[in-house]
Amino acid sequence: MKAATTSVISGLVLAFCLQPAYADDQENVHPYLTRKFTLDLGMFFPDREVRLRVDGPIGGIAEEIDIQKDFGLKQSDETLSLNFGWRFGEKWELQGQYFDSSGARRKFLEKDIEWKDIVFGAGTGAGVGQNFTLYRAFFARRFKTREKHKFGVGLGLHWLEIGAFIEGNIIINGGGTEFRRETVEAAAPLPNIGAWYMYSITPKLVLRGRLDWLSAKVGDYDGTLINAAAGANYQLFENFGIGLSYNLFNLDVGVRESDWRGKIETSYEGLFAYASFFW
């Protein structure tokens, strides 16, 4: 997998670097402000927090499960991530983002864990896992205040795929136990408003920042979403650069789907180191 990824990146670098140079008027600022297409491909190193609640189908509110605290799931993670940009027309831009994260852990429970109407008993072994995938599309109206400054505002859509499971011995009537695995999954399109800003300090160095935000009830989900990033990019060659940014994604929503009534609180916060391509 690593060899294949390296080959793809090497091919992209070669192809883009062999393209003809742009006109002089586009060389006064960083390519992010002028090129039609941009691609950031690299590794995201977030600290993650995952807390969830799975209520019973017949009413009542279960206790919240902190996967890091209750099960010792590794807080740090590393995952492939990418951003994509397409400038079209005189004033419009489409941006995209993708990353996913997953993890699992087993331990002996120090307390009872309630999941729906099932109780996983303290003192028994249990396993828990979670997975999270984000796809982001953002459509923006672009503004140019001065040659080295650009910003945009617009509307976005986050498609989220969230899942979690717990397995182990549950308490049954009469005080006995039996093994059970329970799973919940949800997929949600969440719209948002947002803005981004770029400042080309030199033709090779640019600062970038963006913020997406939602606080509303959308279908079976009710809560808050924040997706933000701030960082810098340095152009090494005509069509290639490197960058570093600090990314934050935070989601805190109530869920009212047929097979999952409860809540999910999750955050991913950390550095994104990437190679960038512009053409």
Give the model confidence (pLDDT) of 34-49 as tens digits.
999 999 999 999 999 9
The whole-number pLDDT of residue 18 equals 40
Q: Which of 2-16, 99-113, 141-155, 210-224 has the highest mean pLDDT?
A: 210-224
- E strand residue ranges, the chain: 37-54, 65-66, 79-88, 92-108, 113-115, 118-120, 125-146, 149-171, 177-200, 205-218, 221-237, 240-257, 260-278
Contact predicate 214/227, CB 8 Å: no
Determine the residue type at 57: P
| Three-state DSSP state, 186 | strand
The angle at the Cα of 134, spanning 82 to 37, to the nearest 5 degrees, equals: 35
Residue count (the chain): 279
**7 or 43, which is more confident:** 43
- The CA–CA distances, whole Å, from 83 to 42, 98, 243, 244, 253 equal 9, 7, 12, 13, 25
> What is the pTM for the complete model shown?
0.84
Q: Is the backbone of residue 70 left (phi > 0), alpha (psi -120 to 50) or beta?
A: alpha
User: Stretch 189-218: mean pLDDT, rounded?
Assistant: 95
Per the listing, tokens 């307390």 go with 111
Structure tokens at 268: 């991913």
Q: Is residue 5 pLDDT above 60, yes or no?
A: no
The whole-number pLDDT of residue 71 equals 83
Q: Which helix (H) or strand (E) holds 68?
A: helix 67-71
The whole-number pLDDT of residue 111 equals 84
Please list, residue by residue across 154-190, b when 16 or more beta carbons sit within 10 angstroms of its beta carbon and e when fewer do.
bebebebebbbbbbbbbbeeeeeeeeeeeebebebeb
Average pLDDT, the chain: 86
Distance CA 128, CA 107 (A): 9
Give the model confidence (pLDDT) of 254-278 as tens digits.
998 878 889 999 999 999 999 999 9
The whole-number pLDDT of residue 267 equals 95
Q: Of the candidates 48, 65, 63, 116, which has an alpha carbon nearest to the alpha carbon of residue 261?
A: 116
Of the CA atoms within 13 Å of residue 54, those in its CB half-sphere come to: 23
In the chain the domains, ranked by start, together with CATH numbers, are 2-103+134-156+191-278 (2.40.128.90)
Q: Is residue 208 pLDDT above 50, yes or no?
A: yes
